[in-house]
Amino acid sequence: MIESFERAAEIIMASELTVALTGAGISVESGIPDFRSAAGLWSRFDPGEYATIEAFRANPQKVWEMLREMDEVVSRARPNQAHRGMSELEDMGYLQTIITQNVDNLHQTAGSKDVIEYHGNASTLSCLWCGRKYLTADKRKEHLPRCECEKILKPDIVFFGEMIPEEAMNRSFELASSTSALLVIGTSAVVSPVNAIPSLAKRNGANIIEFNKEETHLTDSITDVFLKGNAGDTVPELVKIVKQKKGMDA
């Protein structure tokens, strides 16, 4: 296993542009279960009934039954060692951009500066009718958070049936086409359209470094280095080896 970490460190340190793609697995250790896991939201709330934009427009009161539970979990979460390790890599100049499928704001809280939010961010709310925007924290005491225009607010996350933000989509694919190293962390990358990012990066010559608890469809197809384990263990280990190679205190 140490050889894999050594190789990953060498790839990152030689890379002119390194990008990370993160998913639910990186935030599990912060107390946020994967929505699709046994403890996730989809085990109690049918996404067809609670997570589509059509459902929200038709019955926002019902959808907020799920959103309140999600907000309780996300608001308690704090960055873990994986988030902090990625921020350190950025500070050292070995990670330029993070593309995240998560909506929990934990990368930014950990100090990462260039984060592309593929599915939005739960820390703000918007009015679909008048466009006003609010901080979620400022509305948390309201059972149904409402705008000044009295309409029920929607979290700034991408519901099923909504488009991925255009800027996030465009930047992600531009970076995938030009990066020389892609870190895939805590995601099996099976959901469209984000699932195209690893293969696009590979086709354009990038080395793929995968951090996952178990092997995925990527592992035997395009992954160059597979670092098996919890991201909270594997990312800090990689950071330690990079520091050692750089001659810094680990």
- The residues carrying an active-site annotation are 119
Helix, strand, coil share of the chain (percent; to 5): 40, 20, 40
What stretch of H or E contains 208?
strand 207-212
CA dist., res. 160 & res. 162, Å (int): 6
Backbone angles phi, psi at 89, to 5 degrees: -60, -40
Q: In which residue are the tokens 């992600």 written? A: 172
CA dist., res. 198 & res. 209, Å (int): 10
Q: Is 211 helix (H, G, I), strand (E, B) or coil?
A: strand
> What crossing angle do the helices spanning 2-14 and 231-246 adopt, rounded to 10°?
60
Task: Copy the structure tokens of residue 170.
Answer: 């465009």
In DSSP notation, 57-125 reads HH-HHHHHHHHHHHHHHHHH----HHHHHHHHHHHTTS--EEEE---S-HHHHHT---EEETTEEEEEE
CA distances from 67 to 27, 130, 156, 158 (A): 18, 21, 12, 13
Backbone angles phi, psi at 91, to 5 degrees: -60, -35
